Amino acid sequence: MKILILSRNRNLYSTRRLEEAARESGHDVRVIDYLRCVMDITAHRPKVFYQGEALLDVDAVIPRIGASHTFYGTAVVRQFEMMGTFCLNSSQAIARSRDKLRCLQLLSRRGIGLPVTGFASSTKDVQGVIDLVGGAPLVVKLLEGTQGIGVVLCETSKAAESVIEAFRGLNADILVQEYIKEAGSTDLRCFVVGDRVVAAMKRIGAPGEFRSNLHRGGTAAKTKITPEERTTAVRSAKAMGLRVAGVDLLRSNHGPVVMEVNSSPGLEGIESATESDVAGRIVRFIERHAKPGSNWDRIVG
């Protein structure tokens, strides 16, 4: 198969592993910097050019779109979709997953467990949102943050009020969320490929840190997840229309709750913590499912 990996940097662990796994299985694989792709949007014959060369007869595209380039990156993925090329995650599903509010709204419709979450635009309604999530301690987070940046734990209502007002003063959109204290600074990353969780790890926050992100100094370990956690992760990916997803769960007193669903989950942490060949699982999935024109996304929202 002719496979393209859309990635800004071929030296990133995830990109390298996907390239290696595809090559080992005998595929013709290339890494393409999507910011260097030029789109020709002509009636009937949409094309993508890369350094002057038309990218034709591609069997599958693996998008690895960075959070800071969602707009251009998803436009390139969409262009491949218009050409009928199989894209592992669709442009719409990627765009959807980038917005934490949209993501939680879609999950809530499916009845998937979530931390109680509020959203408001006006600072006049701050107290209302704080009450909605049951008061302090609570978590405030930027709608489009990643790697734990923009996620703040507010211990008191007064602190929460100030943080919310400060963010809103900067015109930043934020979610206000119930703090799941019992999770003990630990979350679960479930790596979903198709309708299976192919690997799962537990991430534990650094001492004194409630965020468990590896980028914030957290450590990862292989873990066994319950059947309920497994179904929650798979249903979440499906609700977002993602074939490959990193679903982050917290273990709350009322069962697993989803914090977010990532469309370009990293491979390094999960492969080293679980010693599993996640890249290989992704390639196997593409081999089984890549058919031209199978991109249509029927999710409303």
Residue ranges binding ligand ADP (CB under 6 A): 115, 139, 141, 145-149, 151, 177-180, 183, 187, 205, 210-213, 248, 250, 259-260
Structural contact between residues 278 and 199, judged by C-beta atoms closer than 8 angstroms: yes
Distance between CA 267 and CA 16 in Å, rounded? 10
Closest distance between ligand ADP and the C-beta of residue 45, in Å? Answer: 39
147 binds, among ligand ADP, Mg ion, none (CB under 5 to 8 A by kind): ligand ADP
The partner in contact with residue 188, picked from ligand ADP, Mg ion, none with C-beta cut-offs of 5 to 8 angstroms by kind, is: none
Q: Which two tokens stand for residue 146?
A: 């990643």
Q: How far is the CB of 258 from ligand ADP (least distance, A)?
A: 10
The nearer residue to ligand ADP, 77 or 175, going by C-beta atoms, is 175
Residues 222-261 that bind Mg ion (CB under 5 A): 248
**Taking CB within 5 to 8 Å according to partner kind, which of ligand ADP, Mg ion, none is near residue 103?**
none
CB of 67 to Mg ion, least distance (A): 11
User: Is 198 or 214 the residue whose CB approaches ligand ADP more closely?
Assistant: 214
Min separation Cβ 216 and Mg ion, Å? 10
Smallest separation, CB 117 to ligand ADP (Å): 8
CA distance 64 to 282: 13
Contact between 264 and 88 under an 8 Å Cβ cutoff? The reply is no
| Bridge partner residues of 176 (DSSP) | 118, 140
Q: Output 19 or 260, the one with its CB closest to ligand ADP.
A: 260
- The residue behind tokens 């094309």 is 47
Nearer Cβ to ligand ADP (73/205): 205
Closer to ligand ADP by CB, 151 or 290: give it: 151
CA 130 – CA 69 distance, rounded (Å): 32
Strand bridging mode 60-63 / 2-6: parallel
Closest contact distance (angstroms) between CB of 126 and ligand ADP is 18
CB 63 within 8 A of CB 89: yes
- Considering CB distances under 5 to 8 angstroms, the limit depending on partner class, which of ligand ADP, Mg ion, none binds residue 175? none
Pick 48 or 151: Cβ nearer ligand ADP:
151
Q: Which residue is nearest to Mg ion (CB)?
A: 248
For residue 199, the minimal CB distance to ligand ADP (Å) is 17
Nearer to ligand ADP, 237 or 286 (CB): 237
Binding site for Mg ion (CB under 5 A): 248
